Amino acid sequence: MKNLLLILIIILFGCQTSFTQVFKTGLILGISGSQVEGDGYAGYNKLGFIAGAFTNADLSEKWSTQFEIYFINKGSFKAAHPDKGDYRQFDLNINYIEVPLALRYKYKKFMFELGLYGSKFLSYHMEDEYGERKITQYPFKSFDFGGFVGIYYQINDHFIFNLRSKNSIIPIRDFLNYDQNIGISNKLFNRGWYNVDLNFTIRYQFGNNS
């Protein structure tokens, strides 16, 4: 999958030279703050890394679409607090290749987006206060699928800041939900674990961004 990501990024760069009148391309780099709805540990405490590329096309003066592909870490994290008598700790790291598709509306230097994403599961690492834990029942699913909303701010002709909130629509793992009816997905479906994450990225767009 990492080789596939590299190939697709090269293709997106090809779009920059071959279809520059129609498509605009660029690079994505940033961080994610995530949690897993249903695992019993609330808060966007898991810090992850995002790196990839994008291409977009204008539909009109105000509307455009954007296709992206990137590597992303998701999961959840809880630190122990021995000074408060809390020795529980939990660290879940899940690696994905993610492909979002967004519809965007431009207003001055801002753009507002709405879209869907699909993710291919790559690997995970999970540990608690007793050490590394291996999942033997109810494994993580091969794909994650969800929706997102976001906002862009155009810093200059090339650099763009993006803030995005994402939530799984289908569970990433069919498992007992430890915080019943707390998250929106479990309020609707109550089926297991769901990814919830906030993404903060800087995008560099080649060519003229106007």
Domain ranges for the chain, please list them. Answer: 2-205
Residue type, 56: N
Q: Closest Cα partner for 23 from 41, 11, 37, 39? A: 11
Question: What's the CATH code, domain 2-205?
Answer: 2.40.160.20
Whether 93 shows a pLDDT value over 90: the answer reads: yes
Is residue 77 within 8 Å of residue 90, measured between CB atoms?
Answer: yes
9-53: pLDDT as tens digits: 555 555 544 455 578 899 999 999 999 988 888 889 999 999 999
CA distance 83 to 60: 58
pTM (two decimals) = 0.83
Is residue 199 within 8 Å of residue 166, measured between CB atoms?
Answer: yes
Is residue 76 within 8 Å of residue 46, measured between CB atoms?
Answer: yes
CA distance 100 to 30: 15
Mean pLDDT value across residues 106-110? 92
Whether 8 shows a pLDDT value over 80: the answer reads: no
Listed as own residue / partner, the contacts of 104-107 with beta carbons closer than 8 Å and 24 or more positions apart are: 104/56, 104/63, 104/64, 104/65, 104/66, 104/152, 105/62, 105/63, 106/61, 106/62, 106/63, 106/64, 107/62
57-84: pLDDT as tens digits: 999 999 999 999 999 999 999 998 888 8
Q: Closest Cα partner for 93 from 62, 70, 69, 126? A: 126
Backbone angles phi and psi of 87, in degrees to 5:
-105, 0
Contacts with 203 (C-beta within 8 Å, 6 or more apart), sequence order: 26, 27, 28, 54, 152, 159, 160, 161, 162
Helix segments in the chain, DSSP class H: 2-18, 184-188
